[in-house]
Amino acid sequence: MTISTVSLRKITLTIGILLSLALLFQLTYHTWYLGLPAPASTVHPTQITETLVVAAAPTDDISWLAGHFPVRNVVSYRSSKGNEALAYLEYIVESYHDLPDIVIFIHNHDHAWHNARLFDFNMTRMLAHLDRKFVKDIGYFNLRCDWAPGCPARLRLRGSATSGAAAANSTGRTIGNVDGSEEESREETVMKAVWGELHPGHPIPSTLAQPCCSQFVASRESIRAVPRQRWLHFRSWVLETPLSNWFAGRVWEYTWQFVLAGDGVTTWCPLEKDCYCFGYGACFEGEDEWENWKEAEEKAQAMRNDYITTISGGDDGSKLKKELGTAEQELQGMVKDSLRRGENERSSRDSTRFEISHMP
């Protein structure tokens, strides 16, 4: 059997595309951050106890956790409904009377677009720099500091609501992700429909917002401030709702702060620079310096994309590669400075000054 010239070209093109995508991943997630100092482990010199709850299927690879966290501190739960929500709720219900000081709830992947971009979208580095004392003091901390998507006002819950079943039928029980305003509109419709089921006696808030994507820290006190019976109700709702897995997960994605942050907090959107400073000890000198870092990072990302396009077209991209190296050195320097500043200012930071809601 022979391979035609056309088929051979298609195979070659496909391989080239796959290699380019692999290289883009490496450039996006592993290049500029390599020069930054990383703590050897996440065992901190505090007496704060913690458990890492990972939403993962038996086939998911969570070996990246090895060497960073004591095995006894990591538990994995399978989430068969509501994306990661059921996994988190299962842990809370089962461990309610035997909780550590803080519980860190995360997904099963080390690298993901929704992890903190300041730390190379890398969960290991996020948890390495996480200020345990701070998150214990405030009770609830969304691990994502970057606003988009989710802040400053993800869901605007105005207008009439239909029943949960009607919402499920109108939006489709197995519907996938949709883009832009259509996605938000459907989320709002569903949230209004099920709010009374989830939170009987609590009026529908005008707005629900926090950074996506359901990865956060909660203290023992915050979890136990909610009666276990209510957690059982939440778990039953996830298991029994006619909503699709995707929509049930979205409901919880913008509900955790209402349940755990105290006093019915509906909007958890601290300034990005404050979130990184208080939560991770990466402190930029004012809003302008933070905006400068974001602008530099966006330019570097555009250069990475251009580099991939260039080498995919057969050019060696040497000029772009050199420019990209310079840009990434600049990013390294800015983040190193922020971490040094944060370490120097650690003793003077006052968690009571951390504002969880900032409306532009």
pLDDT tens for each residue of 249-282: 999 999 999 999 988 899 999 999 999 999 999 9
DSSP class of 148: T
What residues does 207 pair with on adjacent strands? 156
pLDDT in tens, 146-189: 999 999 888 988 765 444 444 444 343 333 333 445 566 889 99
Cβ atoms 42, 69 nearer than 8 A:
yes
pTM of the predicted structure, to 2 decimals: 0.82
pLDDT (0 to 100) of residue 311: 81
pLDDT (0 to 100) of residue 26: 45
pLDDT beyond 90 at 190? yes
Phi-psi region of 220 (alpha: psi -120 to 50; beta: other; left: phi over 0): alpha
Question: For the residues 187-199, what does the mean pLDDT come to?
Answer: 95
pLDDT (0 to 100) of residue 5: 52
**Chain centroid to CA 108:** 12
Q: Which of 202, 216, 212, 84 is nearest to 138 (CA)?
A: 216
The domains of the chain are located at 19-37+283-347, 50-152+200-271
CA dist 253 and 5 (Å) reads 50
pLDDT (0 to 100) of residue 317: 77
Residue type at 116 in one-letter notation: A
DSSP class of 77: E
Buried b (16+ CB within 10 A) or exposed e, 270-289: bbbbbbbbbbbbbbbeeeee
pLDDT beyond 70 at 235? yes
**Chain centroid to CA 102:** 17
pLDDT beyond 50 at 341? yes
Provide the pairing of β-strand 140-142 with 216-219: antiparallel
pLDDT (0 to 100) of residue 196: 96
Mean predicted lDDT score pLDDT of the chain:
83
CA dist 166 and 178 (Å) reads 19
Cβ of 175: how many Cβ atoms within 10 Å? Answer: 13
pLDDT in tens, 55-112: 998 889 999 988 777 767 899 999 889 999 999 999 999 999 999 999 999 999 999 9
Residue 80 exposure: Cα atoms within 13 Å on the Cβ side: 5
Provide the pairing of β-strand 207-208 with 102-107: unpaired
pLDDT (0 to 100) of residue 323: 86
Question: For the residues 3-15, what does the mean pLDDT come to?
Answer: 50
What residues does 103 pair with on adjacent strands? 51, 218
For residue 302, what are its two tokens? Answer: 């555009």
Q: In the chain, what is the straight-line distance between the N-terminal and C-terminal CA atoms, in Å?
A: 66
Confidence of residue 50 (pLDDT cuts 50, 70, 90): very high
Cβ of 161: how many Cβ atoms within 10 Å? Answer: 18
How far is residue 213 from each of residues 90, 116, 137, 271, measured CA to CA in Å? Answer: 18, 11, 22, 17
pLDDT in tens, 287-334: 999 999 999 999 988 988 888 888 877 787 788 888 888 888 999 899
Could you tell me what percent of the chain has a pLDDT over 70?
79
How far is residue 231 from each of residues 56, 68, 224, 236, 256, measured CA to CA in Å? Answer: 21, 30, 10, 9, 12
